[in-house]
Amino acid sequence: ILRGIVGANPAKIALAVAALSPVFPYVTTGDGFYPDGSFVQHTSIPYIGGYGAVLNDGLGRLFALLRGSTWEITDPGSRQFLDTIDAAIAPFIYDGLMMDNVSGRGITRVGSSDHTRAHGVMASIVLLGMGAGPEENARWRAMVKGWLKRDYYAPALKSGSLSLVNTARLQTLLDDTSVTASPEPSAHRVFHNMDRATHRRRGWGAGLSMASERIAHYEFGNGENKRGWHTGSGWLQWWGDGAGLEQYSDAYWPTVDPYRLPGTTVSRKKLTDGQGGAWANPKPGTKWVGGTGDGEFGTTGQHLQGLASTMHARKSWFWLDDCVVCLGSGITSADGAGVETVVDNRCLGTSGTPRLLLDGKAQPTTQGWTTTRTTTWAHLDRHAGYVFPGGTELHALREERTGAWKDINDDGTTAPNTRRYVTLWQDHGTDPADSGYAYILMPGASSARTAARAADTGWLQILANDARHTGIRVPSLGFTGVNFWEAGTAGKVTASAPVCVQIHEKRDGTATICVSDPSRTVTGLTLTWQRHVKSVLSKAETVTGVRTGSSVTVTFGDLSSSRGATHTVRVRVR
């Protein structure tokens, strides 16, 4: 295009514009954008925060350059590309940072962070908005302004990470008094084509990273991300309202224990730097990975196989209004090494000593302190509350950890970084057989609210938590979620095939039934819910029959070709 402009050669410009058309369509395999908002690069790496951001920026410049000219991009497929702002990019930006779980090996580059990766993307969104419709442009500008205003840790306009042009573009937006900043939305999203999920509620947000036979455990290449082994093992990132935006930015990656990433279940078997080899993108052999949701709440599951390990586990997450219910079952290993589930691992900076309560009792703040005790709830000031239904033997540790960027990236610096951590975990022992866990993560909760949740033993009903089914019911929310690892019954729900099911009863007398086929193997399904249903309000095209009455039975046709997507049925229960 530039050669055509400089050389006054319209044919070259036209040729280049025509060559953009193959970029716009969604893909169903391999690299590119998927209809569900997933973006994959290097065949099996979720990469919206890396290559996806580069694509977004490059196309944004071309859209702007050609706007109003004879060669303005009018390909109908360009509409799909503009749709990726809401579908693929915005869900992974939280208060001005880009979640690490879609940035591949880039998370280990010194001088960059989840915040700096978001800065250029925000400027690109503003640029693209100029070529979108007026409603989209207004919405995107309000969204970006909200991110700019809420990022107290590494504000885009003070970080020095932006070009002069992008700085001016964002400063102009920030100064525009006609634009009112949008808050973070409350929403749950499942990205079934890249084994990721995001959850936003008032005051907090979270991102989940999994791996399957389709998506790699981690990416290692060019000497980068040498110890990212367990970033696909159910790694659960979260951020609270007005706190925690520095959590994964402040020298987190060179100092964190790579075997103890929050939310993961891992074998302590020693792995080599770059385990699997450069660009090998090692994937487990498991199929049942994915989830479903109604946009408000979500149900997610992962049949986890450890990297270079015999360890298997079935992990489940139930995403609610003020918490995530985390269950694990079938944890089995024969590595000759211990297996742990990491409840959380919070970076406290260089000098943080927030109070840690275990069942209401304050614990020592000295570094190197550790304890193991049966606990029903824990609370870390200014971070979160943790509830353990029925109690669990909880391990807790305060420690200072030192590491250099060079340890995890060949191009990194050798200067040591020291950060403090509080780690909470459950030890399943060496070579466990059918072990499990259950805990409730409450981001930003006070100690009083955490204690109250622990005392309310009827709030959560665990319907099943074994190698066949994992499910819960929360009566006060009208919520039921079940991961059927195989056909069977959990509570009042029966499924004839291995599927993910969520039922959400609303106060208006309706209920939403969501079903997905994470394993992509189900060619027919009969689902029964033992609940009186008056009528069907709407149903997915895959539904072949519905029988209502004292219970409801829904039959589905082939789900395997939907690649793990959600199929929804809305019914009236009263």
| Short-list 441, 442, 226, CA closest to 343 | 441
Tokens of 414: 């050798």
Question: To which residue do tokens 């703040």 refer?
Answer: 365
Question: How far out from the chain centre does Cα 538 lie?
Answer: 29
Which of the following is catalytic: 26, 34, 47, 51?
51
- 3-state DSSP: the chain helix, strand, coil percent, rounded to 5? 20, 35, 45
What is the DSSP secondary-structure string of 530-567?
-S-B-EEEEE-TTEEEEE-BSSEEEEE---GGGTT--E
* Cβ atoms of 268 and 339 closer than 8 Å: yes
DSSP-based three-state secondary structure for 96: coil
**Cβ(173)–Cβ(145) below 8 Å:** yes
Q: Please give the span between the terminal C-alpha atoms of the chain, in angstroms, as a whole number.
A: 61
Could you give the 3-state DSSP secondary structure of residue 276? coil
Cα separation of 393 and 371, whole Å? 10
| Distance in angstroms (rounded) separating the CA atoms of residues 415 and 395 | 31
Residue matched to tokens 């805990």: 439
In the sheet with 500-505, reading across from the earlier edge strand, the strands are 461-465, 469-474, 479-484, 500-505, 510-516, 567-572, 535-539
Contact 405, 254 (CB under 8 A): yes
Known catalytic residue: 51? Answer: yes
Other beta carbons less than 10 A from residue 391's beta carbon? 14
Rounded-to-integer distance, Cα 519 and Cα 562, Å: 11
Q: Angle 195-198-203 (CA atoms, 0-180°, nearest 5)?
A: 165
Residues in the chain: 574
What tokens were used for 24?
């716009």
Which residues does the annotation mark as catalytic?
A: 51
